[in-house]
Amino acid sequence: MSGSRYERPASLSEAVTLLAGSDNTHPLSGGTDLAVAMRYGRAKPGLVVDLKAIPELAPSIEMADGLLAITANTVMTDLENDERIRKLLPALVEAARVVGSVQIRNRATLAGNLANASPAADTPPVLMALGATIVIHGPSGIRALSVDDFLVDYRTTALDPGELIVAVQIPMPARRSSSSFLKLGVRRAMEISVVCVGASIELDEDGSIVKAGLGLGSVAPVTLRPRNAEKLLVGNTASPELFAAAGDAAGGECSPIDDLRASGEYRKAMVPVLVRRALSIAQERSGVGV
């Protein structure tokens, strides 16, 4: 691209060196966001570092030590098609399969969806609800952040210059737990959500909520974690009334804007509906107290 140099390093350490080695560098994997930004001059990297030849980042989904580890170059199609994710983390499949189109999903990475940090992104609410950790490599070494800490502001992450995401780790769900994802939109494909919700719930055998995670998209400048709603849930017995109360609390924590897809008022009204539905579906899937 005129003005942007391109390198495709064959090792992670070389990639970090390149990314940290000059001022205006940018990692590239799927490119479904970066390519558009470059074409229209919104992004003008001096150096694009293509990560797709790095063996450590090659698409893979591995289970080890109680974690599901998804490497940086793993694309949405890989997630959709993985039997273990379908069974254990249904919300992640539900989110991955509505990102863009088949063509987009064949290139778009889970890591890139996070790094792009759009508040409307589909997978971050799920990753937030599931308590995912983002593993980062950089010139100062390796560190890990929660999704909440990683997504700092509108299209702004906690990545320092020279850093890149190498993997996303998701705790293996406990026995009586499950998750769900709901996306409200104007049409059924190729869309940016009006509101989207990721929910994760863990219950004990009496139907009491041990753990609850929620993530909301398109209702704030950044993917939102509705902590008041979560606090209402933990320690109480799952019920439609409780889920409705949590939904209302979540609605109160949102500050959605008006845009071409929907008004802020409509979004605020839809959050409680989607949150209580998502919690209800997650509870059903967990098989407890239904």
The interface region with another protein, picked from 33-41, 111-119, 197-205, 213-221 by CB under 8 A, is 33-41
Q: First vs last Cα of the chain: how many Å apart?
A: 56
Q: How far apart are CA 109 and CA 265, in angstroms?
A: 32
Residue (of 146, 110, 140) closest to 128 by Cα position:
146
The first and second tokens of residue 110, run together, are 């889970």
Assess 36 for contact with another protein (CB under 8 A).
yes
Lateral strand order in the sheet of 195-203:
177-184, 195-203, 209-217
Lateral strand order in the sheet of 5-7:
5-7, 47-50, 25-28
Assess 8 for contact with another protein (CB under 8 A).
yes
Which member of 106, 146, 236, 239 binds another protein (CB under 8 A)?
A: 106
Instruction: Name the residue nearer to another protein (CB basis): 90 or 272.
Output: 90
Kindly identify the residues of this chain, within the stretch 43-72, that bind another protein according to CB under 8 A. Answer: 48, 50, 52
Instruction: Name the residue nearer to another protein (CB basis): 110 or 224.
Output: 110
The interface region with another protein, picked from 94-102, 135-143, 219-227, 264-272 by CB under 8 A, is 94-102
The residues facing 196 across adjacent strands are 183, 217
The interface region with another protein, picked from 54-62, 98-106, 218-226, 272-280 by CB under 8 A, is 98-106
Total residues interacting with another protein, rule: CB under 8 A: 26
Cα angle for residues 9, 29, 189 (degrees, 5° grid): 170
Instruction: Name the residue nearer to another protein (CB basis): 52 or 277.
Output: 52
Kindly identify the residues of this chain, within the stretch 173-192, that bind another protein according to CB under 8 A. Answer: 188-190
The interface region with another protein, picked from 96-104, 116-124, 135-143, 173-181 by CB under 8 A, is 96-104
Residue (of 147, 128, 125) closest to 136 by Cα position:
147
Assess 39 for contact with another protein (CB under 8 A).
yes
Cα angle for residues 156, 98, 262 (degrees, 5° grid): 65
Residue (of 240, 250, 239) closest to 272 by Cα position:
250
Assess 77 for contact with another protein (CB under 8 A).
yes
Assess 167 for contact with another protein (CB under 8 A).
no
Q: Point out which residues bind another protein (CB under 8 A).
A: 1-2, 6, 8, 28, 31-32, 35-36, 38-40, 48, 50, 52, 77, 100-104, 106-107, 188-190
